[in-house]
Structure 1
Amino acid sequence: METKSFPDDFLWGVATSAYQIEGAPLADGAGPSDWHLFAHEAGRILDGGHGDTACDHYNRCADDIRLIAELGVNAYRFSVSWSRIFPQGVGAKNPQGLDFYDRLVDGLLARGIEPFLTLYHWDLPAELAARGGWVNRDSAEWFGDYAHTLFRALKDRVRFWTTHNEPWVVMHNGYVKGAHPPGRADLSQAAQAAQNLLRAHARAVQAFRADPTGKIGVVVNLEPKEPASDDPRDIAAATDAEAYMNRLFLDPLFLGSYPEEAARIFGKDWPSFPEEDMRLIREPFDFLGLNYYTRSVNRADPTASPDGAAPVRQKGSTYTEMGWEVHPQSLARTLLWLKERYGDIPLYVTENGAAFADPPEERGTIEDHARVDYLRGHLVAAHEAMRQGVNLQGYFVWSLFDNFEWAFGYTKRFGIVGVDFASQRRTPKLSAEFYRQTIGARGRNLFQRA
């Protein structure tokens, strides 16, 4: 890694998720998901949007695969809609749902693109949500059975699998802040959901081991937490924030126990978990996916629930439309921290990107210079982490398309391909061309003087 390029076998990809791009959530025998119901509740989504059409990928899959190939990537990260496969979450399978992902996988492979499949990217079958969702201990078995079905159907062609995408967000936004399904603010339920998400991950890994081919991991979102000052209260708040977001799921997976700060953060709502649960959760897996977007500088604020840390905006910094500071050097820092704390596990940056207010289309493209600068800075940071010994094996831009951005609806655009949602016309942005050139040059262009 002393050379200014990425390895020949590096995975260069783009990423999406099912509910955010597919549309047609009830087509061909699919059942509703919790997100389908949630998005149709008044006041839940910023612009009143929902995923009924989204990017219409379900009906435009073949064309979208051609577009992905034109970007020059060799990998595509996508998720499967659980309720397309099991309309009630368990029980009878839906062959038409499986057929859609069969065609997607075959289409990718025909163009030399590695499928990188995520089993769960937040859309839980509505029937299972009605039975308690992730608070129900049976959820681990539901997920294990669902995973086993997909392994049997696709494992002969899919080599890379991840169980959950960002389980911390499922817990925090769903059970602490109430901004995502099931829309609750209950720390006791949040703690139970965290445990069951981890148990479900382990059950899926166990099912995966029945056939020794391929690799399986899990995807977490992390951001460094820094104190806003030398005040001991700010330092303590940043430490709690780091434990709550960055270590709450990783410590059990790698170390077999939750951070000691969890009991203080959750207070009386933090239970003691059975020892057999903790042994199960440590089931070995093959790689870790990192979703990185920003860092957070924190000051102590006892009104900030649950960790008592409030982010502070930094003077002179650039911020995205999400209000996230652009801080690429913290990507390298996070990758190095993962190696130092948890060992030399293979890593992938499974999401990295930015929402900006893109300029209008001109001459067939969208000149999104801010996004180009964001990607360039973060790719340089990823390379620096590799130079320092991090076992990084791939990088995926979030996102392939402008899409449905959860509670923000269609108000935030992350795509390197623009989407006119009225006409469904796709327009590759300047960032798409930059990424294509970077892949072709194996990153050498990142280090050339302008």
Structure 2
Amino acid sequence: MNKFQLPSDSKLRRPEFLFGVATSSYQIEGGAQLGGRTPSIWDTFCNKPGAVDNADNGDVACDHFHLWQQDIEMIQGLGVDAYRLSMAWPRIVPHDGQVNEEGLKFYEQIIDECHARGLKVFVTLYHWDLPQYLEDKGGWLNRETAYKFEYYAQVVSEYFGDKIDSYATLNEPFCASYLGYRWGIHAPGIKGEREGFLSAHHLMLAHGLAMPHLRKNAPNSMHGCVFNATPAYPLNDSDIAAAEYSDAEGFHWFMDPVLKGEYPQAVLDRQSHNMPMILEGDLDIIRSDLDFIGINFYTRCVVRFDENGDIQEVPQPTNEHTFIGWEIYPQALTDLLLRLNERYDNLPPLYITENGAAGEDNCVNGEVNDQQRVMYFQTHLEALDAAIKAGVKVDGYFAWSLMDNFEWAYGYKQRFGIVHVDYQTQKRTLKQSALAYRNMLLERREENQ
């Protein structure tokens, strides 16, 4: 398949529907000790024995710090409308209260180059690279970190204003809190039920504190937040409550306070002994009108209650999986969007801010034949189209990821890119999925001219 097929009645053919590619700072930038950047929790975590596969780290990554110009040119060549990136907090505020002008200018040149090439710029302020100096004071377990994020958001929005087309406060607070502070498999590697929920509350508080500054300093930009969602399905009819609870703890816990001004009662009840201190007024701060919500979707989970009454995920070995071991189940994307549309009567427009697949990709004679990923994108675009036709307002789609990169605790073994990266030479090679994406977008552009 040399291009993704969109039927003639596809809502994705609309000229106003946005297509893009996405990356994040620590995963691609490198330049860890350059440009005035100080360490993040991921620099520290990567140095812990056994924390990251193959003891990989993001010191160099894709060397986007030096190769950003060719990367932006490559993005334009794909025919996309927008580029989603994140800024490295420790590159902009390298020490408490100190602003690094060099860091701001690094991102400014990228933003300017994108605009010069006709690309909209979607910026995420926090994609997990908390400055280590804040972690040394407790990180997201310290309520003060929420106010440090408010300051960082103020610095960025005052400097860039409306030059950034779209601001997202947080990327996947589920991962930052649960993976980082509850289960300990991401930086900073802390394990504790109470810690997981406390860090989650402080992250959402940070979002709420930042929003007024973003609105004030960039009144013509879009402002939102990005959540990951892995919708749950019951193994049997007796497990419906297990699936409902899995969704409540997995993503309603983060979305409800923003959209409804409350936390899900099911989680408050079940985790009552692990609940954080929620001060009076906190939920009023977190509750905010958003211009958009980003949804990152990759797979589903199938769950049941085990003999202890705990939620247990049940593997589905007979179904197709990606290299990372995640089930391919595109119907779940349609189901998820319909569920969200039903749950929230004030749901703002959605963007699929991440969607993609990891593959065991090899470059052979200058080509990367990633047919599973090609079919993954094809079927998920169809699933997205079905949700839109059913009444869900979705305004854009970003493929994850632009290129192979540092995949957190998996290191460099897991390749999510539509562009292959040779980490020895930093050579970029468009995979078949990139060519199929580009060809679809070029065809769409010709139609809409």
Deviations 1:85-129 (A, max 9, x none): 0112x3111111111101100111111011100000000000011
Structure 2 equivalent of residue 81 of structure 1: 88
Aligned partner of 2:237 among 226, 230, 236: 230
Question: In structure 2, do the counterparts of structure 1 residues 185 and 315 end up closer, same or farther at CA, with 3 Å as the change threshold?
Answer: closer
Structure 1 equivalent of residue 120 of structure 2: 114
Pairwise mapping of residues 61-100 of structure 1 onto structure 2 (< 5 A)?
Answer: 61-88=68-95, 90-100=96-106
Aligned partner of 1:199 among 205, 208, 217: 205
Structure 1 equivalent of residue 406 of structure 2: 404
Pairwise mapping of residues 432-443 of structure 1 onto structure 2 (< 5 A)?
Answer: 432-442=434-444
Q: Is the 8 A contact 2:351 2:396 kept in 1?
A: yes
Pairwise mapping of residues 366-385 of structure 1 onto structure 2 (< 5 A)?
Answer: 366-385=368-387
Q: Is the 8 A contact 1:32 1:83 kept in 2?
A: yes
Aligned partner of 1:345 among 340, 343, 348: 348
Structure 1 equivalent of residue 23 of structure 2: 16
In the alignment, the residues of structure 2 paired with residue 348 and residue 71 of structure 1 have an alpha-carbon distance, to the nearest angstrom, of: 19
Which shows bigger deviation, 308-317 or 286-295? 308-317
Amino acid at match of 2:304: R
Structure 2 equivalent of residue 395 of structure 1: 397
Structure 1 equivalent of residue 175 of structure 2: 169
In the alignment, the residues of structure 1 paired with residue 393 and residue 427 of structure 2 have an alpha-carbon distance, to the nearest angstrom, of: 38
Offset at residue 152 of structure 1 (A): 1.4
Name the SS of the counterpart of 1:27 in structure 2. coil
In the alignment, the residues of structure 2 paired with residue 273 and residue 379 of structure 1 have an alpha-carbon distance, to the nearest angstrom, of: 40
Q: Is the 8 A contact 2:24 2:85 kept in 1?
A: yes
Amino acid at match of 2:387: A
State whether structure 2 residue 40 is matched by structure 1 residue 33: yes
Amino acid at match of 2:313: P
Name the SS of the counterpart of 1:163 in structure 2. strand
Question: In structure 2, do the counterparts of structure 1 residues 265 and 420 end up closer, same or farther at CA, with 3 Å as the change threshold?
Answer: farther
Structure 2 equivalent of residue 159 of structure 1: 165
Structure 2 equivalent of residue 448 of structure 1: none
Q: Is the 8 A contact 1:5 1:443 kept in 2?
A: no
* Number of residues of Structure 1 aligned to a counterpart in Structure 2: 438
Give the RMSD, CA atoms, in angstroms: 1.8
Structure 2 equivalent of residue 277 of structure 1: 282
Offset at residue 41 of structure 1 (A): 1.5
Q: Is the 8 A contact 1:78 1:117 kept in 2?
A: yes
State whether structure 2 residue 261 is matched by structure 1 residue 259: no
Structure 1 gaps, min length 5: 446-450
In the alignment, the residues of structure 1 paired with residue 103 and residue 78 of structure 2 have an alpha-carbon distance, to the nearest angstrom, of: 27
In the alignment, the residues of structure 2 paired with residue 372 and residue 407 of structure 1 have an alpha-carbon distance, to the nearest angstrom, of: 25
Name the SS of the counterpart of 1:283 in structure 2. coil
Question: In structure 2, do the counterparts of structure 1 residues 315 and 284 end up closer, same or farther at CA, with 3 Å as the change threshold?
Answer: same
Q: Is the 8 A contact 2:201 2:276 kept in 1?
A: no
Q: Is the 8 A contact 1:351 1:398 kept in 2?
A: yes
Q: Is the 8 A contact 1:87 1:94 kept in 2?
A: yes
Q: Is the 8 A contact 1:4 1:443 kept in 2?
A: no
In the alignment, the residues of structure 2 paired with residue 252 and residue 402 of structure 1 have an alpha-carbon distance, to the nearest angstrom, of: 34
Structure 2 equivalent of residue 414 of structure 1: 416
Amino acid at match of 1:86: V
Offset at residue 30 of structure 1 (A): 1.0
Deviations 1:30-59 (A, max 9, x none): 111011111112111011100001000001
Q: Is the 8 A contact 1:206 1:283 kept in 2?
A: no
Structure 2 gaps, min length 5: 1-6
Offset at residue 417 of structure 1 (A): 0.2
Q: Percent identity?
A: 42
State whether structure 2 residue 145 is matched by structure 1 residue 139: yes
State whether structure 2 residue 289 is matched by structure 1 residue 287: no
Q: Is the 8 A contact 1:33 1:124 kept in 2?
A: yes
In the alignment, the residues of structure 1 paired with residue 35 and residue 268 of structure 2 have an alpha-carbon distance, to the nearest angstrom, of: 46
Offset at residue 5 of structure 1 (A): 4.7
Offset at residue 315 of structure 1 (A): 4.7
Which shows bigger deviation, 180-189 or 60-69? 180-189
Aligned partner of 1:310 among 309, 312, 317: 312
Structure 1 equivalent of residue 360 of structure 2: 357
State whether structure 2 residue 67 is matched by structure 1 residue 60: yes
Structure 1 equivalent of residue 327 of structure 2: 325
In the alignment, the residues of structure 1 paired with residue 444 and residue 335 of structure 2 have an alpha-carbon distance, to the nearest angstrom, of: 22
In the alignment, the residues of structure 1 paired with residue 446 and residue 377 of structure 2 have an alpha-carbon distance, to the nearest angstrom, of: 14
In the alignment, the residues of structure 1 paired with residue 422 and residue 307 of structure 2 have an alpha-carbon distance, to the nearest angstrom, of: 43
Name the SS of the counterpart of 2:295 in structure 1. strand
